[in-house]
Amino acid sequence: MKTVSIHESARSGDAGAGPPAAGRPGGPAPTPGPASRRRPLRRRIADQSRAYAFLLGGLLCFALFSWYPAVRAVIIAFQKYTPGSDPEWVGTANFTRVFQDPEFGAAWRNTLTFTLLALLIGFAVPFVMALVLNELRHARAFFRVVVYLPVMIPPVVSALLWKWFYDPGAGLANETLRFLHLPTSNWSNGADTALVSLVIVSTWAAMGGTVLIYLAALQGIPGELYEAAELDGANLWQRVRHVTIPQTRFIILMLMLLQIIATMQVFTEPFVITGGGPENSTVTVLYLIYKYAFLYNDFGGACALSVMLLLLLSAFSAIYLRFTRSQEDAV
């Protein structure tokens, strides 16, 4: 009888206690009020406002120093314009005059030849260097710094060093050839060798960043693929051809596009080392734009030539991306 009364009193106590109070362990979660709902919304708005503020600053700088000059150059290409005077609309007269310039053909020919040589020399060498660095087991960090060191040198300083190196008299290149009892060369002073000399300078100066990008891509390739290739009896060339190149194909294609765009705009090397000579053998499109603007004081012709270069690079980039995208879809 006593036990029954205890259980009955416990049940009656539970029934009289009512539901668990909010906030107690085991009770239901408190319902957020209007103020607590507004706080996360305010925080999200504040975070997004700060993010858009930082983004707006970057967009303003980009618009001021990139978009506005580009749009302004397109407008000036159809005007007769000199600083300090009112522009005069001339239509396509600037394009016609630039197209009839004897240096126009030489500039485009030299630029396209420079781009082709840069692809043959400057595109293969960084990839081979990355393969070699990837296989090293000792002093890997040291050689990475050595390869990247030319990128840290200002381009003008680098060009001046190479100008001294190519000096046909007391330059280090010819001194080395004389020490080895080999025939010397005119290097950047010869019409036949000047453009190739500039390609070597450009490749040396820009190789470090490309090598590190390739090296990062190579280190992302799973080692199991190489192990499977070795088990199948693949040699070094077969592993590079069937494993390395397919796995880094996207990086190779993107760097090829960027290199073509960069080499089509080469300026520092011909400006500092050769001055466009000898015999206009190193006059490039960008160097001719500089001459029109700052030597001839013809900003309309300079902008007309810039628009031609812009249209060519845009068309090439669109065709290139379209082709590579169709190739990837086919694969």
Distance CA 331, CA 264 (A): 30
Distance CA 178, CA 175 (A): 5
Distances (CA, A) of 45 to 35, 40, 73, 118, 228: 15, 9, 39, 50, 53
Q: Is 80 helix (H, G, I), strand (E, B) or coil?
A: strand
Q: Is the distance from CB of 111 to CB of 285 less than 8 angstroms?
A: yes
For the chain, the first-to-last Cα distance in angstroms comes to: 85
- The whole-number pLDDT of residue 168 equals 86
Q: Is the distance from CB of 107 to CB of 282 less than 8 angstroms?
A: no
- The whole-number pLDDT of residue 10 equals 43
29 band by pLDDT with thresholds 50, 70 and 90: low
Distance CA 304, CA 308 (A): 6
Residue 22 half-sphere exposure, CB side, CA atoms within 13 Å? 4
Helix axes 194-219, 155-165, angle to 10 degrees: 130
* pLDDT of residue 193 exceeding 80: yes
- The whole-number pLDDT of residue 8 equals 46
Q: Is the distance from CB of 283 to CB of 270 less than 8 angstroms?
A: yes
Mean pLDDT of 221-248: 86
Distance CA 89, CA 79 (A): 4
Any idea what the Cα angle at residue 218 is, between residues 212 and 223, rounded to 5°? 150
Q: Is the distance from CB of 164 to CB of 273 less than 8 angstroms?
A: no
Helix axes 102-117, 194-219, angle to 10 degrees: 40
Distance CA 220, CA 247 (A): 9
Distance CA 276, CA 272 (A): 9
What amino acid is encoded at 150 in this protein? Answer: P
Write the pLDDT tens digit of every residue in 246-284: 888 888 888 888 888 889 999 999 999 999 888 889 999
- The whole-number pLDDT of residue 39 equals 64
User: Average per-residue pLDDT in the chain?
Assistant: 84
DSSP state of 30: P
Choose the weakest-confidence range: 94-103, 138-147, 196-205. 138-147
Report the candidate in 241, 295, 292, 286 with the shortest Cα–Cα distance to residue 265.
286
Distance CA 16, CA 193 (A): 103
Q: Is 89 helix (H, G, I), strand (E, B) or coil?
A: strand
1 band by pLDDT with thresholds 50, 70 and 90: very low
30 band by pLDDT with thresholds 50, 70 and 90: low
DSSP state of 81: -
Write the pLDDT tens digit of every residue in 107-153: 999 999 999 999 888 888 888 898 888 888 788 788 888 889 888 99
Distance CA 81, CA 88 (A): 7
Write the pLDDT tens digit of every residue in 39-58: 677 788 887 888 888 888 88
Distance CA 258, CA 267 (A): 16
